[in-house]
């Protein structure tokens, strides 16, 4: 974890999205996507790729080429998917990615970017497996402030990054399902993947306390407040009723999805620990096979 | 509040409110019961004593022998009139007219008669007259009657630089206002849940901040945000930026919770007020 946003991440909005390689988090080259199986990690709102590093290391050890998609997270879930598709196309000049070879792991809003890649951008050409960790598939469940809390979370984990906070930002409007004429999340639900080969897995954490720093008070107040509004189980920020992609309403867009409930293994994981837990990392690697 | 003809304060006839009397006893230890606002001179004088509190005047009037239903209390702006039937005196000639007991007091502040209370028991009328300004101020208070305050003040050049030195380089370069020293006080009341609802839902008043360079003009198109540097060193986005006056903008915190240092507890056990101190400035996100 880095204490403050780096200069490179601050200018991400101007430089545009990038697919970063492991371990130096520099833009990937065609040479980087050569032989091994590929896992592509996608971060959430207001965050950047830095907090995905440990999970990249796990996949590296399991024989994968780990990549991370870093994008201006406020421009819209669909815009992120479009950027991702264009970058994958650029890296696929030798058809190294087609096949399809990529396992996409999306954390939080990153899981929605992964689904948008499949539904809107023909991502099934590259992607064989989508794994979502604590992703709000059903949106934000009525509280208009939850995108704000997701943005708070992103800063707590990755450092100052003010650009996801605006209620006018496309991503926030989409998370609130206030985009017209058809909310993007509804569109994603209705579009069947072009290929039936894509496997879906979703994970939900069950520890409903989340930290924004080491101070007791700020965390206690947030958790006391939000737990009055969120159904159980939840990971402190996203409830399982939103992050469970195996539910009936998703059967068209994510057929055959296997869901990992908080119990028995992930009841102690909150929104942050989902990305840091060893057993969950090993389980996602098993799903990827 | 023109109510000269009818009693404006309902006389409830309840037994005296114990807590009010307890308070009066406390005050009476340090303040005399004499009235600085004059006393009524009538055919039979009414003994009046007045105590002023932050939000009200408490008036104690002795009206022995009066029927509760026959007492009139009239409030007109800041003028209080108490009227009760007179009593037969042993010194009065038989058949003489018994004049009513009347007392008029001019108080230094207007009274809101709709928020005032009258009680009468054992020959003593006790009025709790709410100051109109205090009632109006309280109406503006957030839910839970918690009174929280936020103030900002420009830092001198050296202090500004200390805060800027802690910011990442990009944020420093994109700064568009002076750095404010912001102090907030939050009364800690009720349960954790109630206090949490207050800090998460209530929005502090926006804080004016001067543009660091008047030539910046209209920066609102560049998506400015309010950024905080906390005493612990933590740096966070804490609010939006609204149009201000000439050469200034308003830093508008998302909520009180945003102003709490994420890396510091800040609340000592048993403390009833949370004192928050932080530096705030606006940075643009689309330079």
Residue A171: what are its φ and ψ, rounded to 5°?
Answer: -60, -45
Q: Please give the residue of chain B at the shortest CA–CA distance from A216.
A: B265
Q: Would you list which residues of chain B are within 8 Å, Cβ to Cβ, of chain A? A: 167-171, 192-193, 195-197, 199-200, 223, 225, 227, 232, 234-237, 240, 254, 257-258, 260-267, 274, 283, 285-286
CA distance B192 to chain A (A): 7
- How is B168-194 classified by DSSP, letter by letter? -HHHHHTB-BPPEEEEEEEE--S-HHH
Which among B171, B257, B265 has CB closest to A222? B257
| Angle formed by the axes of helices A278-288 and A53-61, nearest 10° | 50
Q: What digits encode the pLDDT tens for the residues B170-197? A: 888 889 999 999 999 988 878 888 899 9
CA distance A260 to chain B (A): 31
Q: Are A191 and A119 in contact (CB under 8 A)?
A: yes
| Cβ neighbours of B264 in A, within 8 Å | 215
Q: In the prediction, which pLDDT does B154 show?
A: 87
Size of interface A-B (CB pairs under 8 A): 97
| Cβ neighbours of A220 in B, within 8 Å | 192, 196
Tell whether A276 lies on the interface with B, counting CB pairs under 8 A: no
Residue B261 and residue A218: Cβ atoms within 8 Å?
yes
Residue A215 and residue B263: Cβ atoms within 8 Å?
yes
Task: Give the residue from B228, B230, B168, B212 showing the smallest Cα distance to A10.
Answer: B168
Residue B145: what are its φ and ψ, rounded to 5°?
Answer: 55, 30
Q: In the prediction, which pLDDT does B22 show?
A: 35
Separation between Cα atoms, residue A250 and residue A248, nearest integer Å = 5
Residue A165 and residue B237: Cβ atoms within 8 Å?
yes
Q: In the prediction, which pLDDT does A114 show?
A: 98
Tell whether A224 lies on the interface with B, counting CB pairs under 8 A: yes
- The ipTM (two decimal places) reads 0.89
Q: Which residues share a beta bridge with B57?
A: B52, B129
CA distance A38 to chain B (A): 33
Q: Are B155 and B227 in contact (CB under 8 A)?
A: no
Percent of chain B clearing pLDDT 70 (strictly above): 78
Residue B236 and residue A165: Cβ atoms within 8 Å?
no
Q: Please give the residue of chain B at the shortest CA–CA distance from A165.
A: B237
Q: Which residues share a beta bridge with B186?
A: B274
Per-residue pLDDT of chain A in tens (289 residues, 90 and over written 9): 333 345 545 566 667 899 999 999 999 999 999 889 999 999 999 888 989 999 999 999 999 999 999 998 888 999 999 999 999 999 998 888 988 889 999 999 999 999 999 999 999 999 999 999 999 998 765 566 788 899 999 999 888 888 878 777 899 889 988 898 999 999 999 988 776 689 999 999 999 999 999 999 999 999 999 998 889 999 999 999 999 999 999 999 999 999 999 999 999 999 999 999 999 999 999 999 8
Residues 109-148 of chain A whose Cβ lies under 8 A from any Cβ of chain B:
145, 148
Which among A4, A152, A215 has CB closest to B168? A4
Separation between Cα atoms, residue B272 and residue A62, nearest integer Å = 54
Longest CA–CA separation in chain B, Å: 96
Q: How far is CA A204 from CA A134, A188, A242, A259, B13, in A?
A: 5, 20, 9, 8, 62
Residue B11 scores a pLDDT above 60: no
- Let me know the angle formed at the C-alpha of A190 by A185 and A196, rounded to the nearest 5 degrees: 115
Q: What digits encode the pLDDT tens for the residues B195-224? A: 999 999 999 999 999 998 887 778 888 889
SS3 call for B160? helix
Q: In the prediction, which pLDDT does B139 show?
A: 53
CA distance B226 to chain A (A): 9
Residue B196 and residue A224: Cβ atoms within 8 Å?
yes
Query: Which of B170, B271, B273 to probe by mutation at the A interface, max A CB count within 10 Å?
Result: B170
Q: How far is CA B122 from CA A97, B103, B116, in A?
A: 94, 19, 20
Separation between Cα atoms, residue A120 and residue A79, nearest integer Å = 10
Which among B167, B196, B266 has CB closest to A225? B196
| Cβ neighbours of B163 in A, within 8 Å | none
| Cβ neighbours of B285 in A, within 8 Å | 13, 162-163
Q: Residue A181: is the preceding peptide bond cis (ω within 30°)?
A: yes
Q: Provide mean pLDDT across the span B69-94.
A: 81
HEC string of A39-100? EEEECCCCCCHHHHHHHHHHHHHCCEEEEEEECCCCCCHHHHHHHHHHHHHHHCCCCCCCCC
R_g of chain A, CA atoms, integer Å? 17
Separation between Cα atoms, residue A183 and residue A176, nearest integer Å = 9
Tell whether pTM > 0.90: no
């Amino acid at each position: 974890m880095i204490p403050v946003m780096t200069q490179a991440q601050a200018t991400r909005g101007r430089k545009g999205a990038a697919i970063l390689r492991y371990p130096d988090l520099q833009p990937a080259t065609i040479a980087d996507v050569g032989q091994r199986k590929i896992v592509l990690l996608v971060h959430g709102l207001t965050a950047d790729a830095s907090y995905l590093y440990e999970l990249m290391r796990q996949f590296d050890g399991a024989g994968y080429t780990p990549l991370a998609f870093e994008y201006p997270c406020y421009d819209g879930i669909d815009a992120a998917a479009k950027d991702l598709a264009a970058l994958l196309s650029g890296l696929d000049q030798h058809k190294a990615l087609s096949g399809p070879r990529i396992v996409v792991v999306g954390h939080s809003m990153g899981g929605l970017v992964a689904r948008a890649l499949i539904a809107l951008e023909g991502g099934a050409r590259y992607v064989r497996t989508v794994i979502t960790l604590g992703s709000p598939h059903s949106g934000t469940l009525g509280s208009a402030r939850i995108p704000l809390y997701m943005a708070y979370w992103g800063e707590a984990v990755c450092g100052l990054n003010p650009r996801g906070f605006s209620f006018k930002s496309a991503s926030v409007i989409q998370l609130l399902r206030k985009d017209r004429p058809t909310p993007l999340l509804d569109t994603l639900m209705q579009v069947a993947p072009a290929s039936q080969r894509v496997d879906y897995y979703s994970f939900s954490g069950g520890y409903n306390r989340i930290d924004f720093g080491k101070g007791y008070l700020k965390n206690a107040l947030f958790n006391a407040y939000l737990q009055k509004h969120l159904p159980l189980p939840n990971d402190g920020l996203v409830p399982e009723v939103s992050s469970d992609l195996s539910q009936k309403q998703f059967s068209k867009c994510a057929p055959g999805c296997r869901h990992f409930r908080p119990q028995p293994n992930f009841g102690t994981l909150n929104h942050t620990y989902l990305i840091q837990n060893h057993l969950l990392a090993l389980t996602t690697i098993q799903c990827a096979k | 509040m023109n109510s000269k003809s009818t009693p404006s304060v309902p006389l409830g006839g309840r037994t005296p409110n114990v807590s009010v009397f307890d308070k009066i006893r406390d005050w009476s230890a340090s303040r005399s019961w004499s009235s600085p606002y004059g006393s009524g001179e009538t055919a039979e004088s009414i003994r009046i004593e007045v105590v002023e509190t932050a939000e009200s005047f408490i008036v104690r009037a002795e009206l022995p022998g009066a029927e509760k239903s026959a007492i009139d209390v009239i409030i007109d702006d800041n003028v209080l009139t108490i009227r009760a039937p007179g009593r037969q005196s042993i010194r009065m000639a038989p058949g003489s007219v018994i004049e009513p007991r009347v007392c008029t007091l001019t108080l230094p502040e207007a009274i809101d008669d709709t928020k005032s209370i009258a009680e009468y028991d054992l020959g003593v009328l006790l009025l709790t007259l709410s100051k109109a300004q205090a009632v109006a101020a309280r109406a503006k208070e957030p839910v839970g009657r918690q009174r929280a305050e936020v103030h900002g003040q420009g830092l001198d050049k050296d202090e500004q630089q200390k805060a800027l030195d802690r910011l990442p380089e990009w944020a420093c370069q994109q700064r568009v206002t002076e750095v404010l020293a912001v102090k907030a006080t939050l009364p800690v009341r009720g349960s954790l849940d109630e206090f949490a609802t207050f800090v998460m839902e209530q929005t502090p008043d926006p804080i004016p901040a001067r543009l660091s360079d008047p030539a910046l003009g209209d920066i609102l198109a560049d998506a400015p945000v309010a950024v905080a540097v906390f005493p612990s060193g933590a740096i966070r986005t804490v609010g939006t930026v609204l149009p201000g006056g000439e050469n200034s903008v308003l830093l508008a915190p998302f909520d009180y919770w945003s102003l709490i240092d994420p890396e510091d507890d800040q609340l000592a056990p048993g403390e009833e007020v949370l004192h928050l101190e932080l530096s705030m400035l606006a940075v643009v996100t689309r330079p």
